[in-house]
Structure 1
Amino acid sequence: MKSIIYILLLFAANLNAQTASKEQIISGLPEIEITEGINLHIISPEPIQYVDLSTENLTGDLPTSSIARIKITNEQNSELKEKKVKPIAFFNGDKIGIITVVGQSFIAQYKAIYKNSESLNTVTNIHIQPEAMQPVEFDKMIFSNLELRKFAMDIIQKKSENNPIRVEKDFNLSLQLNNVYVISDYIFLDMTFKNNSNLSYDIEALKFSIEDKKIYKATNNQSIEMTPLFQLNPQKHFKKNFRNIYVFKKFTYPNSKVLMIRLIEEQLSGRTIEMKVNYSDILKADTF
């Protein structure tokens, strides 16, 4: 009996060793050199979620979603200035701090090492390499309709109607895609409908579907209907202008297809207007 228990304990220990995540220690971190007065740009292969700098000797920002800009700072707070404490002087090879960059699927950490400005080989940018990445998996967020409404209201307060991504006009109607936003696994379409005629417009349906960009035969067209998870305003009638937010779970489609948006009037001889949205427009979505 004891031998069986011993074997089971060994099996459990081996299983834990195989499934445990690899720990990272400071001595094993890759080094990157940084020089005072020169910005170091860390380029990520995917959007950066956040950057952590372990000491006040470093400061930085995110000029774009995939670039972290880091520099050495010797700025002191008012308390230290009053005490006339001299700024820290760095020498070649000094360890300044730890830089942590977290992407959508990885975490990368580096030891920042000081290098003086007299060197002709000053590093100004680095690309995060696969060997420096440790995979991470974030929980997918699920938002309630109340939270989706709050996000949609935040969007509706933005003045983005003057520079729409796409506009289609027909029958004295205008259908425009103001902007595309993304948060977690949700896509928000900000849309405005304009009626330049004297006849009010009764909406029978606003349909979203993924369709072939080029249709050679009607029988070959594959249409996949998309249903919004949430819309800010259920309004079915408008006289002049109507703006609304439509929320979808994250979706993708190839370049050979488009997102087709159809606004259909309720009457028998109703006015219908269509818009084709390329996947590149979705990829350029803003975050908020």
Structure 2
Amino acid sequence: MKKLFYTIFLATSALLTAQTATKESLISDLPELEITDGINLHIISPEPVQFVDLSTDNLVGDLPSENIARVKISDADSKLDSKKINKKNFYVGQNLGVITVVGQSFMAQYKAVYRNSDNLNTVTNIHIQPEDMQPIEFPKMTLSNMELHRFALNLLSKKIDEKPVRKEENLKLEMDLNNVYVMNDYIFLDITFKNKSNLGYDIDQLKFSIEDKKIHKATNNQSIEIKPIYKSNYQKFFRKNYRNIYVFKKFTYPNSKVLMIRLVEEQISGRTVEMKINYSDILKADTF
């Protein structure tokens, strides 16, 4: 299994030569992942994994799917390789090596430590969190507002599919995510708002944020607002239908979170409609 990691590493090493300098990381500062004998640890990435590096022979792994890296303690056999350490000699808390996961736009590193198999609270999978992602910067094509405007008009001229990617309704308001498009490092959201009442709608705000998919009573909901770098028009009122294109610089989020879109009316008791977009919807984006 480990050979697969190194094959992928060699095939993609050219990508990393393009990255610019990023903040240095110390092993002592890395988040810890506890690994137990005979149990696989699945590391789930919000975007396709380009490669995984395991710094020592104590660990082996493979890529069962494009978004998952599977790591476990090596079944060492001292008769085959005297340099390998028999896993039975590990002590609780021992550093087994560094796990590096590289996605399309980030790198995440973890310090693997040994945990006794007698402990029943063993972690079997984790989602890579935004705070663990170190961005990898590649040469990017920057689009001017004029170019973004031209692309947005091109999308607005397209006929809307009868079945949107997502649809939400509330208080005779409807929000349709018509489609998601990508171009280079830009994400385009094509959204239509429909007012099925006879009362016109005054837009107070349209908010985009990354939020927890499930909110537990004992925890606070983490919300990270993201703002579009461009929108095709700045209309503040509509009577029946309102369609707009919102452009974002490329962003990622784990499967445990969603992109929340909220349309809020101007009045205190105004009508509101919300939509949750899974990251899988972003990954299925069309190109143009």
TM-score, normalised by the number of residues in structure 1: 0.52
- Cα deviation, 1:241-272, whole Å, max 9, x if unaligned, reads 00000000000000000000000000111001
SS in 2 for 1:248: strand
Partner of 1:147: 147
Partner of 1:239: 239
- Cα deviation, 1:119-172, whole Å, max 9, x if unaligned, reads xxxxxxxxxxxxxxxxxx973010111000011111111112422100001100
Residues in 1 aligned to 2:255 and 2:145: alpha-carbon distance in whole angstroms? 31
Partner of 1:184: 184
Partner of 2:199: 199
Partner of 1:252: 252
Residues in 1 aligned to 2:167 and 2:206: alpha-carbon distance in whole angstroms? 16
Larger Rg belongs to? 1
Partner of 1:223: 223
* Aligned CA-pair RMSD: 2.1
Partner of 1:133: none
Residues in 2 aligned to 1:144 and 1:248: alpha-carbon distance in whole angstroms? 13
Partner of 2:125: none
Residues in 2 aligned to 1:160 and 1:255: alpha-carbon distance in whole angstroms? 28
Residues in 1 aligned to 2:231 and 2:237: alpha-carbon distance in whole angstroms? 15
1:62-101 to structure 2, matched below 5 A, reads: none
Residues in 1 aligned to 2:219 and 2:239: alpha-carbon distance in whole angstroms? 37
8 A contact 1:161–1:192 mirrored in 2: no
SS in 1 for 2:194: strand
SS in 2 for 1:153: helix
Partner of 1:164: 164
1:97-112 to structure 2, matched below 5 A, reads: none
The reply to whether residue 284 of structure 1 matches residue 279 of structure 2 is no
SS in 2 for 1:220: coil
Residues in 2 aligned to 1:271 and 1:161: alpha-carbon distance in whole angstroms? 26
SS in 2 for 1:149: helix
SS in 2 for 1:208: strand
5+ residue gaps in structure 1? 1-20, 22-44, 47-103, 106-136
| Deviation of 1:219 (Å) | 4.8
Partner of 1:124: none
Residues in 1 aligned to 2:233 and 2:217: alpha-carbon distance in whole angstroms? 37
Q: 1:218 to 1:260 in 2, by over 3 A?
A: farther
Q: Which has the higher contact order (CA 8 A, sep 6+)?
A: 2
Aligned residues: 157
Residues in 2 aligned to 1:220 and 1:267: alpha-carbon distance in whole angstroms? 27
